[in-house]
Amino acid sequence: MIAVSTNLKLVKEFGIDPNNAFAFWDWVGGRYSVCSAVGVLPLSLQYGFPIVQKFLEGASSIDNHVHTSSFEKNIPVLLGLLSVWNVSFLGYPARAILPYCQALEKLAPHIQQLSMESNGKGVSIDGVRLPFEAGEIDFGEPGTNGQHSFYQLIHQGRVIPCDFIGVIKSQQPVYLKGETVSNHDELMSNFFAQPDALAYGKTPEQLHSEKVPENLIPHKTFQGNRPSLSFLLSSLSAYEIGQLLSIYEHRIAVQGFIWGINSFDQWGVELGKSLASTVRKQLHASRMEGKPVEGFNPSSASLLTRFLAVKPSTPYDTTVLPKV
């Protein structure tokens, strides 16, 4: 039995040999912990430490880049400045993360937590209400999934800055003789086309020259001048993934420094957890002792009463485990 913990004393009291425990610092937030023991241990068990070592080296290379590069050539600093400009000056509250690689399908949700739990603040580190908007609404989907999901809004609705992420070397190359391009070149055709479509759009004059019917011209016009940036990775090795993650982590920290907020606390998570504890006590009292719902606002009280009126699927007088 092994453990990963910030408290080796409690590990010993729990009954695990401290020699079998991996410690990490208690100030490492969960969203930043992948490079600590709590992230590296399970990754090493899954992929082997040599691969995880490459991941750590990739992250470290960006750490060193941030520390040693001038601001003019510092990738996370430049990205952080662009984000602050888009959010606080231009008033664009969201950002789409669009990896043209299925293996990165969980990148957007990870950055969503990393960014929104870090910089979702309305008060400065000094406790003063911010006189401007901070934080970003992050979302995304891989490749052409997103194109048929929310790109309509990005092209002709709200202005949403986009991060496009492409890979030169495919992990799963497929080519059928006689086809125009391989599967990866087909995918990357979209990667290269979408930023141009956002930047340049399509004017009514172009549509007139293409003999588009007059009644359709307003619908087929693209405003253009919509911001995006593109990452082009040489491959999707563990090293490049470490670099990519570190770029986003430092970018978020830079945003927090400029906004004057603390990107490393998360008080906004606490209130809901505290209220959930109150609800938990009410559910126990109602289930076990038949007590009525009390002390909640009318809406919550009504919902709780409705919830409790239905017989639970798990009886409270015996242990219930999933059926295998």
The catalytic position among 9, 273, 311, 323 is 273
* Tokens found for residue 171: 């992990």
Q: Among 224, 87, 88, 99, which residue's Cα sits nearest to residue 163?
A: 99
Tell me whether residue 72 is one of the annotated catalytic residues. Answer: no
The catalytic position among 9, 67, 148, 211 is 148
CA 316 – CA 37 distance, rounded (Å): 38
CA 98 – CA 141 distance, rounded (Å): 6
Tell me whether residue 177 is one of the annotated catalytic residues. Answer: no
CA 315 – CA 317 distance, rounded (Å): 6
CB 75 within 8 A of CB 67: no
CB 22 within 8 A of CB 3: yes
Tell me whether residue 273 is one of the annotated catalytic residues. Answer: yes
The catalytic position among 65, 117, 155, 184 is 117
Tell me how far CA of residue 170 lies from CA of 107, 145, 166, 174, 187, in angstroms.
Answer: 17, 18, 10, 9, 10
- Looking at residue 291, the DSSP 8-state letter turns out to be P
16 contacts: CB under 8 Å, gap ≥ 6:
1, 2, 3
Please identify every residue annotated as catalytic.
117, 148, 273
